[in-house]
Amino acid sequence: MVLGIVGRLDRKVSKALYWSSADGLRRGVLRSLEFSGDGLIWLQVPFIAWATSMVPLDKTYCLVNLLIGFLLDLCMIGLLKFVFRRPRPVYNKDDMHIVVSVDKFSFPSGHSSRAMFIAAMAYICIPSSLRYVVMTWSAMTAMSRVILGRHYLGDVSVGCCLGVALAAALSQGTFKAEHLLYTHENWVAHYGTILARMHVKA
């Protein structure tokens, strides 16, 4: 009974937040946020950032943790979508990029979990004010899922919590870079081994 009341309230609030009359420009902005949070894009980011030296060498271990988190997030969200199989809102427009079959389900929001995981990792690994830019983007991306009609508010809320929880797990509950699962010392050791092997082969 309680779950039924919560579900009805979730659907009612979500429908109120949905922009049914969004014009081309506003919907374009929302679709841009959707595209920017796409999982296939973010899976490539750690590799691109490493290959182009966009990230200082002493911060490369953050990219490794980012990649680990993305893979865990995909598995976790995919499993939950498969288990719960909650249909997406009936007013959702059929212009989504579906990658795997479970993407057609609504709970929880993968974009929201990914965006909040990225925000949490930015908080952990980026000391400058740039991390607040990332956090703003993540909040906008999560909220756009409801406004765009892709998800219910409950899907997004749970997704956000899962993203933060994943970052907490990778940092052993501290949200500090020195406590990440894959540390700077790990990277130095592995990178040194790779260089040594390349030198021997040469």
d(CA 147, CA 166): 25
- Annotation marks residue 184 as catalytic: no
Tokens of 52: 């182009």
- Of 133, 134, 142, the C-alpha closest to 162 is 142
State the helix-helix crossing angle for 110-125 and 60-84, rounded to 10 degrees.
160
Closest by CA to 62, choosing from 164, 174, 187, is: 187
The label of the residue with tokens 């990649």 reads 67
- Exactly one of 111, 179, 184, 199 is catalytic; which is it? 111
Say whether 97 is catalytic.
Answer: no
Active site residues: 111, 151
